Amino acid sequence: MNVVKENIEVRIYPAKADMNDKCEKIVNISAVESNIGIYRFIYNKELEFINDFKRLLLHYGYDVDKIIVNKKSCDVILHMLRQEYSFLEKAESSSRQQSQIDLISAFKNYYNVNLKAQHPVYKSKKNNKDTFRIINNRNNVRIEKDKYVYDKIKLAVLGLVKFKTSKKYRELLHRGSDKNDPTVKIKHVTVKKVNDKYYAVFNIERIHIPKKITGSLQQVGIDIGCSKLAVLSNTQEIPNLDLRKEAAKIIQYQKEMSHRKPGSVRYQKAKKQLNKWYQKLIRKRNDYYNKITTYIVKNSSFIAVQNENIIAWHRNRHFSRKVQLNAPRTFLEKLEYKCQRDGVEFIKVPQYFPSTQICSECGEKNENIAGIGNIGIREWDCPHCNAHHNRDVNASKNILKKGLEMAVGTTVQ
């Protein structure tokens, strides 16, 4: 039994106009926009106050790095702001608090020498994600039926909003809304705006009971490739997704943007298209990776992968574009996350382990296929035991062996 944290993103549709009547409140676009604005406003005003105070201290010769930004000091500032600006009362109270919590943690990161974070900067309309966050206090974020008995999301005092999501997510959110169901809890929700579309990202905690392993893939080694996404030690190959169309569109609109005057109508148009295709690519890829990783994890009890030197691939001109498109690191992260969630043992074999050069039959090293120059050799015969090998399958078999060795701490013969 594991407690797992998950983010569930659903599209929401705030109403264009004010549609409130006596019995129910509907979230409209202007309410969402004003919360986004207020979130930014509080962050910036509090930061401005702190910066001014620092400047004053500096002027009188004090050490400014010693001032501490915490909840107590920020509460005072927020209190003053609320007296001065009455529109702040329109925001949901936990979202007002959240803005300040984010500022405090930005300062915490700045003071932490290990993180090497930059001094907090003002949030601008242009280069920041438009978001605000509501903490779920006493079930004020939940799924609720509207007066026509349709499911709506209730966003605290903001009211009800229409949404769309998969059956699975809908069911999870229903369970999170049910007080009598202790297995799923909605912790908080972030409302965000991307390309003029609105989304609610639910942060949930749920108790996960791993399923019994029934498939054939009990123990598996995985070689992460470039021409193929992955090759498994049971000789199964997982191809890369064909992203040529999306990539071509992205390049096309990038080019178009570079030929237009920044800020012009045509520039904005191209930018919108670029964002659209970029989101499409990411969505398509995530969907594919989710399916593949679920399949592998569902059928395995032990997984070993080689933590490949992906940065080195980036430097290699033959690979870099493919790597950027296919993001093998995202694949690995998803795989690792699902293994942890489902209680499957996950081992990373170190980079320096020469998985491609060792013969998985006799264990001898074949120096002839080492190096980037010999990457074209797809199949070879072992000079010691004459075993015939497919390069990638052999590598994944070695990765599995090495992973099992590392797991038990002894050599497997």
In terms of CB distance, is 161 or 382 closer to Zn ion? 382
Neighbours of 215 (CB within 10 A): 11
Residues 133-192 close enough to bind Zn ion by CB under 5 A: none
In the range 325-384, which residues lie near Zn ion by CB under 5 A? 359, 361-362, 382, 384
Provide the mask over 295-324, with x wherever binding to Zn ion is found by CB under 5 A and - wherever it is not.
Answer: ------------------------------
Are 394 and 360 contacting, i.e. CB atoms less than 8 angstroms apart? yes
Contacts of 7 (CB under 8 A, 6+ apart): 201, 202, 203, 204
Of 112 and 235, which CB lies nearer to Zn ion in the complex structure? Answer: 235
CB of 305 to Zn ion, least distance (A): 23
Question: Could you say which residues in the range 246-275 bind Zn ion, by CB under 5 A?
Answer: none
* 102 contacts Zn ion (rule: CB under 5 A): no
Nearer to Zn ion, 89 or 381 (CB): 381
- Could you give the count of Cα atoms lying within 13 Å of 235 in the half-sphere of its Cβ? 2
Contacting residues for 184 by C-beta, under 8 A, at least 6 apart: 172, 175, 176, 204, 205, 206, 207
CB of 366: closest distance to Zn ion in angstroms?
8
Measured on CA atoms in the order 295, 307, 348, 379, is the torsion positive or negative? positive
Closest distance of CB 398 from Zn ion, Å = 11
Give me the least distance between CB of 411 and Zn ion, in Å please: 17
DSSP H stretches of helix in 299-384: 310-315, 320-326, 328-342
Residues 6+ positions from 190 with CB-CB distance below 8 Å: 131, 132, 133, 200, 201, 203
Nearest to 210 by CA among 117, 338, 320: 338
Query: Minimum distance between the CB of residue 165 and Zn ion, rounded to whole angstroms?
Result: 52
Q: Which is nearer to Zn ion, 33 or 361 (CB)?
A: 361
CA 129 to chain centre: 14
Q: Which residue's CB is nearer to Zn ion, number 28 or number 233?
A: 233
Least Å distance between CB 406 and Zn ion?
A: 22
Task: Report d(CA 14, CA 194) in Å as an integer.
Answer: 14
d(C-alpha 37, C-alpha 95), whole Å? 11
CA gap 219, 224 in Å, rounded = 16
Spatial separation of the C-alpha atoms in residues 173 and 204, rounded to whole Å: 9
Chosen residue from 30, 385, 388, 412 binding Zn ion by CB under 5 A: 385
* Identity of the residue, 120 or 221, whose beta carbon is nearer to Zn ion in the bound complex: 221
Residue among 296 and 382 whose Cβ is closer to Zn ion: 382
Q: How far is the CB of 386 from Zn ion (least distance, A)?
A: 7
Nearer to Zn ion, 303 or 382 (CB): 382
How many residues bind to Zn ion according to rule CB under 5 A? 7
Q: Which residues pair with 28 in a beta bridge?
A: 15
Nearest to 334 by CA among 191, 217, 186, 229: 229
Which CB atom, from 75 or from 379, has the smaller least distance to Zn ion? 379
Nearest distance in Å: CB 353, Zn ion: 17
Q: Give least dist CB 407 to Zn ion, A.
A: 24
Residues at the site binding Zn ion, with contacts judged by CB under 5 A: 359, 361-362, 382, 384-385, 387
